[in-house]
Amino acid sequence: QKNTPLLGKKVIVTAGPTREAVDPVRFFTNHSTGKMGYAVAEAARDLGADVTLISGPVNLEPPAGVNVINVESAKDMFDAVIESYDGADIVVKTAAVADYRPKRIHDSKMKKQDGELSLELERTIDILKTLGEQKAHQFLIGFAAETNDVTTYAKRKLESKNADMIVANNVKQAGAGFGGDTNIITVFHRDGTTREYDLMSKRDAAVHILKEAIERMGDKA
């Protein structure tokens, strides 16, 4: 018999990096491959959910049966997430969203010049924080990619973004974070409970993340 605790539930997953254009041929991005987010989308589908995967540019085949919305910039991702937020039951923000973007996008290719070049950057919109502010019935799961003081920063994110759960990974640890097929996660809950997991596949980590959410959803489930 199939175990489908998320049957009838709408789950939004964001995955991959964003691209912030400098000019028509250049952009800023990061090391996210989308593997963690795609694993969450697939696991949510297998647990019975109706899944919308909002993905930055990656080289992965999306899981069958999942609605995919492809985006590029943090602004595009924000617009797509907000569009489906009202109807969502669970939102999992796995994407590595740029915190800064060039203040000006040049219309034509920037030409080389002698000497140094400075580009002015401005903050992008914080999607998770906005979702936290507009939260009604949704169960909001953020990620925290850290290189040090993981617990301190994860707990801070739980509060400042009004998330229900934060999944932290130390991206400097071997086998964790960007790129590979495995991760080492620690889950932080609002009531102060924390659960550390050993190294496992991103697919197994995804199932643990969703099961922890299902257990905690209470009235929201």
- What distances in angstroms separate CA 43 from CA 75, 126, 159, 169, one per listed residue? 27, 26, 27, 19
Answer yes or no: is 79 a known binding residue. Answer: no
Q: How far is the CB of 114 from ligand PMT (least distance, A)?
A: 35
Listed in sequence order, the DSSP H helices in 9-137 are 35-46, 74-85, 127-133
User: Which range binds ligand PMT by CB under 6 A, 62-70, 89-97, 108-116, 192-200?
Assistant: 89-97
Answer yes or no: is 161 a known binding residue. Answer: yes
Answer yes or no: is 157 a known binding residue. Answer: yes
Catalytic residue check, 3: no
Q: Which residues in the 107-136 window bind ligand PMT by CB under 6 A? A: 124, 126-128
Answer yes or no: is 99 a known binding residue. Answer: yes
* Binding flag, residue 32, ligand PMT (CB under 6 A): yes
24: number of Cβ within 10 Å: 12
Q: Which residues pair with 22 in a beta bridge?
A: none
User: Which range binds ligand PMT by CB under 6 A, 20-28, 32-40, 65-73, 111-119?
Assistant: 32-40
Q: Which amino acid is at 191?
A: D
Residue 182 has φ and ψ, to the nearest 5°, of -120, 165
Counting residues that bind ligand PMT (by CB under 6 A) gives 28
Helices (H) and strands (E) in the chain, counts: 5, 14
- The annotation places the binding site for CTP at 99, 109, 143, 157, 161
